[in-house]
Chains A and B, each alone.
Chain A
Amino acid sequence: MTDETPTAAALTSPAPSPAPAPAEPLGLPEARVEPRSRARLVWLLPILALLAIAILLVEEWRTRGPRIEVEVPRASGIEPGRTAVLSHGVPIGVVSEVRLDAAREHPIVTIDLHRWASAYATDGSVYWVVRPSIGFRGVSGLETLASGPVLEARAGADGAARKTSFVALARAPLDAASANGLAITLTMPKLGSIRPGSPVTYRDIAVGEVIDTRLADDSTKVLLDVLILPRYAPLVRTSTRFWNTSGFGVDLGVTGVKLRTESLEALLGGGIALATPSERDPQAAPGTVFDVAPEPEKEWTRWSPTIELAPGP
């Protein structure tokens, strides 16, 4: 075969060209050289990137609200960037720093509030730490078992003066614990096994809770801040009697939540019961002070007035 098809020759080897390019020393084909535009438009990319960062910074500056400091009793579990600051379950800011105060005695949590939440940096705003705790309503703050502690807040009144430094409450304020429950004070000669969280019962049904225990100002007795749930508030009349049920073995079923039994029993060992002689007596006003008897008198347990409970759960 002396002649191949020209196309096949062009594909397999450079055909002997009748007019070879001048600068082709080894008989190689010459690559096509074409002009191309200089890349200027592509430099818009870094400019756009800078622009994106600028927008980000402006947005950050625009949405950043006041920075406040809250002194908390214990900072364990509170982490910058992770611990939520909530009001009625809505995030109002983020924890940016956890440190100790100048005296190295109290943890200080720095919070960056969102711009819309500036009402939480006013006089009258309150902060407290929600941790899992065991009380008569079972376990409260259970959600914080998995998530770690959460800072809860309530805003001060409208138009209140600006304030950026707060001391966290030891526990949730009463109105936050239970909206409009009846707050009363009980007195006892000594505390015994009553603790914050101990139940207040009526016919063995928990109707309230000991919120706080403290010594009276003249140190002659122990004062208990007690909250009666709104639904059961009508049970407490001016003539109501209270007595200590510690040692009676109050049976509190925290059904569904299995916890270490010994510590739960120790914690729930004490309780206070109440009885009311008659539905005709006036209801107790908030803040009324009652004595707690060490034991019930026989007739108290036989009282059985007909009292309409307030609507609600």
Chain B
Amino acid sequence: MRTVCHACGLEQHVRPLGPSERARCARCSRPLLTHASGDASRAAAVALAALILLIPANVLPILELEYLGRVSASTVWGGCVALWNERMWLVATIVFLASIAIPFAKLAAIFYLSIYAGTRRMVAFRARLLVALEVVGRWSMLDVFLLAVLVAVIKLDSLSSARPGPGLFFFAAVVVLTMVSSALFDSRALWRELIDVKSPNVRRATEATT
């Protein structure tokens, strides 16, 4: 098949890859293509780890403020509820979507798509999920949230004793793992594989996006 190197733009031919093979660019030697299930298993493992750590990241407080003996521990979910109760519905919704719902959905989708890479199950659904992931996935903004919390910790420290809660470390781990699994997740390889199956549903899904 023909492909174009992302790094140097050279158009080249790649012979069909085996499950444990990788193609490198003929000119610049950057990784060009991998077999769909190769990196997919890595992406699935990292996404699974992130999904697991998402539980303590959301259950444990990410920020602990202590003021005269009264400890106020905040979780991400608690923050959303507080914003909602303050009648800041739009902000509450955005924070909930960008910090809880979409990151979870994105990781779950990466895990699901990666674990089924190289199989022929539910091809049409996977194609649609892949489209949704590319559209919605960019609204996963855990890193922005993390930055906001860290700024709060540093800024508030002079006013009261603000300290990062145990949840923040899990939160940071989730941020890193999400980045790694997104980087490992090769949606092009999955598209190629899904089209190879030559399902009419996939063609329809593909045409709908282009």
- Give the interface of A toward B (CB within 8 A): 11, 21, 23-26, 28-39, 42-43, 45-46, 48-50, 52-53, 56, 81-84, 86, 89, 91, 94, 143-144, 146-148, 150
Contact = CB atoms under 8 A, between A and B. Distances in A.
Given A42-B46, A147-B68, A150-B70, A32 B20 contact: no
Contact of A91 (B26, B50, B69): B69
Contacts of B52: 46, 49-50, 53
Interface string B51-91: 01101100010000001111111000000000000000000
A148 to B, nearest CB: 6
A35 B20 contact: yes
A34 to B, nearest CB: 6
Contacts of B72: 82
Contact of A30 (B12, B17, B53, B55): B12
A32 B23 contact: yes
A94 B71 CA distance: 9
B55 A28 contact: no
Contacts of B26: 29-32
A82 B3 CA distance: 58
For the complex of A and B, 9 pairs with smallest distance between CB atoms = A147-B70, A45-B49, A49-B52, A29-B26, A46-B48, A143-B68, A46-B49, A28-B13, A31-B23
Contacts of B73: 81-82
B13 A36 contact: no
B22 interface: yes
A86 B69 contact: yes
8 contacts: A26-B2, A28-B12, A32-B25, A33-B23, A38-B41, A43-B41, A46-B49, A50-B52
Contact of A29 (B27, B29, B45): B27
Contacts of A25: 13
B21 A36 contact: yes
